[in-house]
Amino acid sequence: MLTACGKPSNGDDIPVIPLPNGMTLPTVTGINVLTMDVSTTSGNCGSGTLYINKPCVTVTVCDTSSRCTTINDILVDTGSFGLRVFKSVLGSTTPTQITVGGKNLAECVEYGDGSIQWGSVATAQVKLGGESAVTVPIQVIDPDFGDKGSTAGCTDGDTAPGTNPSTDASFNGILGVGPYVQDCGSDCVSNTDHGNYFTCSGTSCSPSTVPLASQVTNPVSALGTDNNGVILMLPNLNFGGAVSTSGYLVLGIGTRSNNTLSGVKAYPMNPSNMSFTTSYNGHDYQGFLDSGSNGLFFPNTNSALKNCSGWYCPSSTQTLSAVNQAYNSNIKGTIQFQIENFNTFWNDPNNYWVGKETGGSSSGLLNGLFDWGLSFFYGRNVAVGIEGKSSSLGTGPYWAY
């Protein structure tokens, strides 16, 4: 069994503990630290969103008239880039609409589950933790903006935060802290028909190129000091699950005493597709670490891993392993993980919403991807190094854990 770490709080900027994290994190404080809850009922996640393994923070968004709104229930997502919030939660805060060629800029983004977010792209002052605000383009999710690029298929995007994960976004926004600076990058500078960006005359929106500086930007990359990436710190979990847990989203890697990691290994990733190689059960996959995925999702090549409504439900808990190898490098490491019967987790009388042994099949899907979702992050300090930015762990893009 795992034992408690239970280190006491000792004030500001204390060093990060070595791996692995224990059952209890030390208290980490500093202007670059955001409390990150994984919960459906309390804290930064708000209440009522029925969503397994959902990590949330609170951010503040301001406009040029200093109208600020503090928004909770922001999903922390290492698999996307930039801040997106529903217009309906911004209150009187009005980010400044960005124009390209004299037309209003809009964006349509698509996630792997096929969900869509449509809305305007506007400049906001974004405050993360105690850091000074950064001025970056964000997406204001707004199904009523323009004509939703009606000829280009964003008409069916998320309409509201909502609370039903089958039909609603189930969050107020997404903070994309993945390893890229912009959400699209050079593709969208040169290609009109990449499908992400649109410009609108009146309500008529059509595909457009967009300069890098106008693309939705990872706000971490714009910080003064702590701009080279983030560290997600979550405590370990008891086997079987928990009602909720809490950790930290720490800004910057090795830029302060409280974000200097020891005992971690950096894995440079393929900059073109955000992946390293994950070898599992005799096959190589494009692996990625994604806090916005709520389990471990990989093709089922193990007959013991039965499938129950998309989740694995083996008759007995399976202890498995995979090897992650850095891109163009011999750096590698073995990950042991467990998959338990999802129905046991789900039907536990304690109402678990947080689980480390949750996983599901992506057989026939993901086309060779191995998705290390939030289950991977428990008990680890996971660093995400931003492209082109350096730290003691190397130059991004990389993951380190």
Residue whose CB is less far from other proteins, 17 or 354: 354
Residue whose CB is less far from other proteins, 8 or 114: 114
The residues of the shown chain that bind other proteins, judged by CB under 8 A, are: 41, 50-54, 79-81, 108-116, 151-157, 164-167, 170, 176, 178, 180, 183-185, 187-188, 191-196, 207, 273-275, 288, 290, 292-295, 297, 309-310, 346, 351, 360, 362, 364-367, 369, 371, 373-374
CA atoms within 13 A on the CB side of 85: 28
Residues forming beta bridges with residue 149, ordered by sequence position: none
Residue whose CB is less far from other proteins, 44 or 362: 362
Residue whose CB is less far from other proteins, 58 or 375: 375
Residue whose CB is less far from other proteins, 26 or 229: 229
Q: How far is the CB of 313 from other proteins (least distance, A)?
A: 12
Give me the count of residues in the chain.
Answer: 401
Q: How far is the CB of 162 from other proteins (least distance, A)?
A: 10
Q: How far is the CB of 317 from other proteins (least distance, A)?
A: 20
Q: How far is the CB of 307 from other proteins (least distance, A)?
A: 12
Cα angle value 323/15/82 (rounded, 5°) = 65
b/e for 57-67, b at 16 or more Cβ within 10 A?
bbbbbbbeeee
Q: How far is the CB of 358 from other proteins (least distance, A)?
A: 10
Distances (CA, A) of 238 to 2, 202, 258, 352, 378: 7, 54, 26, 11, 10
Residue whose CB is less far from other proteins, 188 or 382: 188
Q: How far is the CB of 149 from other proteins (least distance, A)?
A: 9
Q: How far is the CB of 204 from other proteins (least distance, A)?
A: 15
From the list 27, 395, 31, 376, the residue with the least C-alpha distance to 223 is 31
Cα angle value 22/27/29 (rounded, 5°) = 140
Distances (CA, A) of 352 to 234, 292, 348, 356: 17, 18, 7, 11
Residue whose CB is less far from other proteins, 288 or 337: 288
From the list 121, 120, 146, the residue with the least C-alpha distance to 136 is 121
With a CB cutoff of 8 Å and minimum separation 6, the contacts of 73 are: 44, 45, 46, 49, 56, 161, 171, 172, 173
Question: Maximum distance among all alpha carbons in the chain?
Answer: 62
Residue whose CB is less far from other proteins, 201 or 257: 201
Decide: 55 and 374 in contact? Cβ < 8 Å. Answer: yes
Q: How far is the CB of 155 from other proteins (least distance, A)?
A: 7
